[in-house]
Chains A and B, each alone.
Chain A
């Protein structure tokens, strides 16, 4: 019996040692594809003369692709795309709440599909996947794919090279553009205000600073702007507390749109996260003043999903902090017109210009990296398939492919009127328009190569007057506002403690605004973040900036 016990313990120990060794073995296998990648970049020139001769099945993991590619369902858009490129796309479905986890597990267990979409740039995953040879480098010569080449050579795209700042750096991912340029983000943070309510409360001049804004919001609360005889309206609501960054352009522009890195004016131009500057404190105090005056939604800290938007669209709030892109304006319009069938949103809304900065008297506008998320190619994918993948991207980034996967079939669902596209939607028996995604499920993943923001000011499915409102504001901002004073490369720098950058504007603004002493709370938060890794991170970022010559 004793011997049996000893034998069992020995066998257990051996089993545990072997399982540890098995884990080491996996890493060595993962290193192998790196050499293949280097060879592959040189082999692109040997692709067959008729590049579309062979039919290919390409597996793609992307959000909601399972809904867009359903077996047995008729879809002329899908069929036309597949025929054009002689491909079949095999969907590997991921959802918005599980995509990161799934892709990480697949990457670690060598189960990745041919291509997959994820927001990984600047993270440890990005670096590991490249250095372990899990993702394929893109060919140096992108001339066979002119639309892809144009995009990769575009404004602000250098940050997608690895290593960043290296002249010989290579692209390991195809960025998924949200805008064509860093400057096109100007309306991605804004303020919508009910101008009819402004008339009703007797304030017709648009507010140009925080004090005027507070007066307007107080009037919305106290003066029955919806004229229903009840005191049931609030001033400002928001999509969530993150969108209160709109006010920060007047105090700390580095916090417009979130927490960017800025030069600390009090410390010889050291790069620090914007929330640590004294100007940021002034901005938070201003928002606190708005809250204490009763001008800000009391529930601003707990708003989620569409609560704030619904309140505003249901005539409960007079101002709404979100973005003022054509698509958001249109969506709010839809909700508003459902609640107010006798009104048109375009007639009752105005979009505010930002306030002048209290320190330098300048206007500021949002800039950001052009892309959110990237598409990666599995290192095990062969050259012919890589070529086909790039041709797929080239096609859908171009006009013909873009129109197909967004608007449907030319001549049936849309037509050209000069330069413009005019939609000719089908209608059902009751006369309601049938959404194009119902007829062609593939259009649900119209973002296969780029997001909808890229052509937001020419999108024919957006209400034209709202589109013009957004576009006019953009024009004004480009002419009159400076880009926020940050360097977009800084958050993406490869430093050991980059994962310590955990501060979120939402958390900071909620804690400060709901506290009794904003300054004390802000000081405590800054101390806490510094102690939890930001001190080291700041040191590393500044060292890296000096190394790369980022001024």
Chain B
């Protein structure tokens, strides 16, 4: 009797829990479903129906427009370039720096680490940053989206902590066998550091793919706009960002026409690459947050 009563209570809670989770899942998935739905919908069908929830039309015109329009295609290629090349550059510098900083015997290690830590909390400001970039000759160059942000201090610290936790014995035995530091790093340490490499690479890749602020400030050449900047331009509601109603009206009527379908298509194309990568690397992503958090 007691056991069956306990079993009924649990079932009731489970049912409520399941329903709640299903509702929350629908709420989370519905916007995505709606975006994809509208991106493939016929313009007139969407306008004529009061609510468009079920796909009553199919039209790939928005996608054709996106891929045929030079601006979007360029932006897609730029985003792919800065993601791939940027991640490689970032990982090269981050790995080398974090490995070096993980060695206590490196002269000035503490000072260098402090100097890296300070900019995490304090920044020189926008104008000095702009002038620095300008003096480096990076204005309106694609490398401005890769080099200034090549090393993220937080990710550096994560990797440093991971390298510090590696058993010293592996490196010592390699040193005894005559290996130098570079050899140890690339042949011994990195192969054993696959989890952190995968995680930090994913972090960098996501950061690069979502990059738009650097482009907004430093890029005027439309051929170098990344996809996120084009997306921002396409979906922005000017009445929210401009103080003047007249200004917002002028802005809206003088920019290219982005129908709802086109906006949705750009959103889908901007998010697909990340969607493809995330399921495979998700476990590394969640593990990676905890790197260095617990010292053994």
Contacts and interface: CB of A to CB of B under 8 A. Distances in A.
A373 interface: yes
Given A67-B222, A304-B237, A372 B250 contact: yes
A339 B220 CA distance: 38
Contact of A119 (B239, B247, B252, B258): B247
Nearest to A99: B251
B8 interface: no
Contacts of B252: 305-306
A323 B249 CA distance: 10
A61 B220 CA distance: 9
B126 A105 contact: yes
Contacts of B248: 242
B221 A109 contact: no
A119 B244 contact: yes
A95 B233 contact: yes
Contact of B255 (A64, A98, A188): A64
A78 interface: no
B236 A97 contact: yes
B233 A105 contact: no
Contacts of B194: none
B239 A240 contact: yes
A109 B221 CA distance: 19
A111 B254 CA distance: 26
A310 B47 contact: yes
B239 A97 contact: no
Given A109-B134, A314-B47, A338-B44, A102 B127 contact: no
Given A8-B111, A96-B251, A109-B127, A304 B232 contact: no
Contacts of A338: 43-44
B217 A102 contact: yes
Interface string A360-372: 0000000010001
B246 interface: yes
Contact of A98 (B43, B47, B216, B253): B216
A371 to B, nearest CB: 10
Contacts of A109: 127, 130-131, 134
B48 interface: yes
Contact of A316 (B50, B130, B134, B244): B50
Interface string A169-190: 0000000001000000000100
A64 B254 CA distance: 9
- The range of chain B's interface size is 35 or more
B93 interface: no
Interface in A1-43: 4, 8, 19, 23
B247 A373 contact: yes
A314 B255 contact: no
Interface in A328-380: 331, 338-339, 368, 372-373
B124 interface: yes
B28 interface: no
A483 interface: no
A66 B124 contact: no
Given A93-B222, A98-B216, A372-B246, 17 more contacts: A8-B111, A23-B128, A63-B251, A93-B220, A96-B236, A108-B130, A109-B127, A111-B130, A258-B244, A258-B245, A313-B47, A314-B47, A316-B48, A327-B253, A339-B47, A505-B245, A506-B239
B233 A316 contact: no
A506 B220 CA distance: 32
A119 B241 CA distance: 13
A134 to B, nearest CB: 13
Contacts of A310: 47, 260
Interface in A48-89: 61, 63-64, 66-67
Nearest to A259: B245
Name B's interface SS: helix
Contacts of B131: 109
B238 interface: yes
A94 B255 CA distance: 12
Contact of A257 (B128, B217, B245): B245
B174 to A, nearest CB: 30
Contacts of B251: 63, 96
Nearest to A315: B48
A101 interface: yes
A443 B119 CA distance: 46
B234 to A, nearest CB: 10
A391 interface: no
A313 B111 CA distance: 66
A111 B44 contact: no
Contacts of A526: none
Nearest to A335: B47
A382 interface: no
A472 interface: no
Interface in B122-141: 124, 126-128, 130-131, 134
B98 to A, nearest CB: 21
A239 B130 CA distance: 38
A97 B222 contact: no
A66 B221 contact: yes
Contacts of B221: 66, 93
Contact of B254 (A93, A105, A316, A447): A447
Nearest to A93: B220
Contacts of B127: 105, 108-109
A92 interface: yes
A313 B47 CA distance: 8
A311 interface: yes
Interface string A502-530: 00011000000000000000000000000
A323 B259 CA distance: 20
A314 B42 CA distance: 13
